[in-house]
Structure 1
Amino acid sequence: MLNERVLPKHVGISVGIGIIIILTLFIFFPGGYSLKEMNDNKVTISKNGLLQTEAFTVEVTTENELRIALLRNLINKWKVIELIVYIFIPVVLISLAVNFVSRSKEEFTFMFVLSVLLIAAATYLYVNNLHLMDQLVMKLKV
């Protein structure tokens, strides 16, 4: 257990609630794609939204085979980004809370700037991958 002088009880509870809220938002945030191969020449693509799921089947041809491979790669990259964010955000929140409570101004400032930069980078990767996946799916639908 953490000593009361290092991390007061209310800060620990606040960080715990924050972690639960962030994980809940990531679980229900729309935009996740999944790709399932039906047989040798058909693929089902599902877009999971907040309230609905859209699925359609695409026939694999020589014209769209490269797009499907790129979409599969982007979906795998998406899952890695989500895993990193799931691990990173709680660690940053806890370290910010500990540095804030311990009144270590230099460490708190460093961690705050680092967390803002990393959150900006993760947001850029998230939006960029989502945009690329949306473009690929629109071209496959046509």
Structure 2
Amino acid sequence: MRYNQLGNTGLFVSELCLGTMTFGAAGENAQWGLIASLDQKGVNEIVARSIAAGVNFFDTADVYSFGQSEQLLGQSLKDLGIKRSDVIIATKVHGAMGNGPNERGSSRGHIMDSVDGSLKRLQLDHIDLYQLHGT
């Protein structure tokens, strides 16, 4: 696997990044039920194979299966005993995470609340790359 520096962060990321939009239970929501179908066992298998291949860069978003993708990825890292320092975690914010007017978008309030939610779901103390998932 080849690795490249992520901007001027000093972090090196694998040229391949594992996207996790398919992590989650199918059928729970019409939108995500068409995309997501992986349970914890399937996620653990894919993450283990990715790590074995040298992938250290994982991308998710709070809206993927309404948080399930982040939860499954975080649990997988824990289940597999992967050290936090061995992975680069990217997640995103913007989409609706509830029905309230402040549970979506790019406001400071929503971003701050979403960071907290993502950290809890991922079971991590920090996010390496946090991105706006819309405008």
The question of a shared fold, defined as TM-score above 0.5 by the shorter chain, is answered with: no
Larger radius of gyration: 1
TM-score normalised by length of structure 1? 0.23
TM-score normalised by length of structure 2? 0.24
